[in-house]
Structure 1
Amino acid sequence: MHRYKVREIAQQCGLSEATVDRVLNGRPGVRESTRAEVRQAIADLDKQRAQLRLNGRRYLIDVVMQTPQRFSDAFRAAVEAELPAFAPAVPRARFHLWESGSAAQTAEALARIKGSHGVILKAQDEPEVADAVNRLVASGVPVVTYTTDVANSDRCAYVGIDNHGAGQTAAFLVDQWLGQQPSAVLITLSRTVFRGEGEREVGFRSGLRGSGRQIVEVSDSDGIDATNERLVLDALQRHPEIGAVYSPGGGNTATVRAFESLGRACRVFVAHDLDADNRALLRAGKLSVVLHNDLRADARLAIRVILAQHRALPEEPVRPTPVQVITPYNLPS
């Protein structure tokens, strides 16, 4: 049985009930253009039903993130800018944000969430986080992971870029820019328990395989400048051959300072995300490119997925968003 009556579909598309019935039951003798009209009518009815569900309804969405403040500030602004687009629904957001901590802290934050219609989560890929996600989902609260996945959980979708592909893109750019120069490459990670950064690193290493370039890794800075600067200084002093940087984890202002304090040149610097720091570094010529994805589009998609879980919007496939290669000359306003 179809979710709409034959008469309702016929009224929507202006065809006879007999014709609609033939289309719905896959009977022959109907032009493809007529079948397309019926499919469009059903899609329009879905939209109308969604609008009725949305009308004046309030949704409370929790954004839970362990991330440097520069990124959480940017994503918070993106979420708040997108919320009015879901009118006539009235979505509101609560933000639970911190810069460093353990998986236990994340699990505790998730356990404290009450009265939520959905969670957007950027967190460690650890068993206790997955367990906390599963408990939320079992209680009827859908969870969308953002930028970095908690894959072995019951989350309903991952929203963000193809992290492995982004790492391969970074490797291609670094190798092209360095050319014949035998420079080693520094890769800076905020913390290895974030799956997204790990996928970027694996993609980067696979992209440079066979190039002969040494890759030096620093990690566990949480993307915080003071910690990252100390780690990068140590790596540069131990590896005078480093002449390029790939930064999946942030803390790029500190990395630039470390190079400058030693009087060292960084020939190529590929970073992620157009936060305030990276915009300034890109304009100043301190970064070569920034690999970016549209935060507002990400926020919009994550909210749509949550509302679809409540059948307030039609479900749609969620695929990794394409990464944008941003230079000082195509910097979005």
Structure 2
Amino acid sequence: MSHRYKVREIAQQAGLSEATVDRVLHHRPGVRQNTVAEVHQAIADLDKQRAQLRLNGRRYLVDIVMQTPRRFSDAFRAAVEAELPAFAPAMLRARFHLWESGSTAQMVEALRRLRGSHGVVLKAQDQPEVAEAIDRLVDAGVPVVTYATDVPASSRCGYVGIDNHGAGLTAAYLVDQWLGPATADVLITLSQTVFRGEGEREVGFRSGLRGTGRGIVEVSDSDGIDATNERLVLEALESHPAVEAVYSVGGGNLATVAAFEKLGRACRVFVAHDLDADNRRLLREGHISAVLHNDLRADARLALRLILQERGALPTEPARPVPIQVITPHNLPA
């Protein structure tokens, strides 16, 4: 059986004889399980060391391109900057292209103008023009990782983020359990319907509430910006007096809380996404019941790793789904 390392190399790493290593590699009998484990650990260590040699002295420039509310882009930017040193001895730098609202054409133009990039982390609309822009980058040798919301028809090398449909189902479960027997309706707020991740959350939420008899009132196209969101939520609440709960998919939660307060309406359950500064405060003050959260630093680390893997600088490892954490005021992380 051929192997990517010579038997002598593995034996030296493991501190075993070449004959023993040869027996393990060829699955011959007469070798203890702990010896087999030592050989496999030695191979894993050699993989890591080879990756370090490939990374040594290399410089990579990664572009972070996102249309998202500033409170989220600020949090993700901090996460990326905190993770960059972890890839030493390689030197990673990041350029940030961040804006809150805009058209698909603006996103396509931003991707077209990238120069000298070694990889892109992208939060963008799931539109054919965006998929084509991603394909052009990939064809030019620039790997693209989609983040938080996917563009699956493109040739992106991976998606990083939570299971959005599962998040919607989780939100529906929490809302229905906390409302109990009350016949209350639920407001769902989205920033833009062209973001696939938000659409998947909405579908999961609606399916989770199917059969409960609860009405769902939708507010969308606010871009998650507070001023726009407050106006839209006020209009929805005035038209739907039975709304007593909120599932916030796209943010703008300060504005949603303000709208309820302006009308003197009680919001009995409020489930949101992401532990940004606004949501932390709203959780502590009791305005939000729970936040569905994922570790942004873990997201950033995985996205950067996928880019380096695609460039052959790191060994390939399977990307695991990002787990959803249900955060309440009582388990709010520091």
Matches within 5 A, 1:258-273: 258-273=259-274
2:119 matched residue in structure 1: 118
Matched, 1:282 2:317: no
User: Aligned partners of 1:262, 1:221: CA distance in 2, in Å?
Assistant: 20
The CA distance in 2 between the partners of 1:38 and 1:320, in whole Å, is: 29
> Aligned partners of 1:18 and 1:283: how far apart in 2?
63
Query: In structure 2, what is the Cα distance between the partners aligned to 1:3 and 1:243?
Result: 61
**How big is the shift at 1:56?**
2.2
For 2:182, the equivalent position in structure 1 comes to: 181
Match of 1:147 in 2: 148
- Paired residue total: 333
> CA RMSD of the aligned region, Å?
1.2
Residue number in structure 2 paired with 1:88: 89
Shift of 1:18: 2.4
| Alpha-carbon distance in structure 2 between the residues aligned to 1:114 and 1:26 | 49
Q: Does 1:101 align with 2:93?
A: no
3-state SS of paired residue (2:122): strand
C-alpha distance in structure 2 between counterparts of 1:31 and 1:43, whole Å: 19
Question: Aligned partners of 1:223, 1:9: CA distance in 2, in Å?
Answer: 54
Deviation at 1:172, TM superposition (A): 0.7
The structural deviation recorded for 1:35 is 2.3
Structure 2 unpaired stretches of 5+: none
State the partner residue of 1:30. Answer: 31
Q: Deviations over 1:289-330 (max 9, x none)?
A: 111111111111111111122222222111221111111121
Q: What whole-Å deviation, never above 9, does each CA across 1:235-283 have from its counterpart, x for those lacking one? A: 1111111000000100111111111111111111101001111111111
- How far apart are the structure 2 equivalents of 1:252 and 1:320? 26
Matched, 1:7 2:2: no
- SS of the counterpart of 1:4? coil
For 2:121, what is the secondary structure of its paired residue?
Answer: strand
Aligned to 2:306: 305
Letter in 2 for 1:329: H
Which amino acid letter does the alignment assign opposite residue 255 of structure 1?
A: T
Displacement of 1:102 = 1.4
Once residues 39 and 276 of structure 1 are traced to their aligned partners in structure 2, the CA distance between those partners, rounded to angstroms, is: 44
Cα deviation, 1:66-94, whole Å, max 9, x if unaligned, reads: 00001000100111111111111110000
C-alpha contact (below 8 Å) 1:50/1:311 kept by paired residues? no
**Residue 193 (structure 2) aligns with:** 192
Shift of residue 106, structure 1, vs aligned partner: 1.0
Equivalence for 2:331:
330
- Which 4+ stretches in 1 moved above 4 angstroms? none
Q: Match for 1:26: what amino acid?
A: H
Correspondence for 1:250: 251
Q: Match for residue 71 of structure 2?
A: 70
C-alpha separation in 2, matches of 1:114 and 1:9: 42
Percent identical residues: 80
Offset at residue 23 of structure 1 (A): 2.4
What TM-score comes out, normalization by structure 1 length? 0.97
TM-score, scaled to structure 2:
0.97
Shift in Å, 1:31:
3.2
Alpha-carbon shift at residue 143 of structure 1 (Å): 0.8
In structure 1, the partner of 2:43 is 42
With 199-208 and 34-43 compared, the bigger mean Cα shift is at: 34-43
- CA distance in structure 1 between the aligned counterparts of 2:126 and 2:75, rounded to whole angstroms: 23
